[in-house]
Amino acid sequence: MSSYSVQPLNLNGQTMEPGAAAPATQERPGRRVLVSSVSSDSHTWNLVFLQLLLEEMGHEVTNIGSCVPDGLLIEECRRVRPDLVVISSVNGHGALDGSRAVRRLRAQPDLRDLPVVIGGKLGVRGADADSYGPELLAAGFDAVFEDGAGIAEFRRYVDTSARPELLTSGAR
């Protein structure tokens, strides 16, 4: 049987010295964040990563998991009353399922102004595909984080809540 040790990382992804205390998080009020996938996406590792990242940033996270039907997303938004909804896609159906989900959510008068963002692999055509961002912003998302944009842009968005935005791997 093999044993592996994991080196703790700081917020910048650098290895911390053994026994070193984690850096203090910046003083900012934590928000309630609801994390979800789109209805056809059964991947969970991305959701766990987002949950841990957001918690590390000082936010209270409710992770409702994978393959979330639109109706359940709406119910959970009403139950949790989040300050932000983060939707993640790994399977490439984020643009299709995400557009439908956000339109249904925006049709609810009590959820119309709830900030909602989406990110990940949004289409099945890969890196050569056109951006889905404009379409997703028009559908009702406040920000779009395309596959190659990286986590730094997402973190900046969560910290500043700048909107509406399209964050892609390409030039802006």
Output b/e per residue, 126-153; b: 16+ Cβ within 10 A.
eeeeebbbebbbebbbbbbbbbebeeeb
Res 63: pLDDT? 98
Q: E-assigned strands of the chain? A: 32-37, 60-63, 84-89, 116-120, 143-146, 165-167
Kindly report which listed range (75-84, 89-98, 127-136) carries the lowest average pLDDT score.
Answer: 127-136
**CB burial of residue 168 (10 Å; 0-12, 13-18, 19+):** middle
Helix/strand/coil for 3 = coil
Share of the chain above pLDDT 90, in %: 60
Residue type at position 162: A
DSSP 26-69: PS----EEEEEE-TT----HHHHHHHHHHHHTT-EEEE--SS--
Summarised one tens digit per residue, pLDDT across range 134-149 is 999 999 999 999 887 7
Summarised one tens digit per residue, pLDDT across range 21-45 is 545 544 556 899 999 999 999 999 9
Higher pLDDT, 169 or 2: 169
Please state, rounded to an integer, the average pLDDT across all residues of the chain: 81
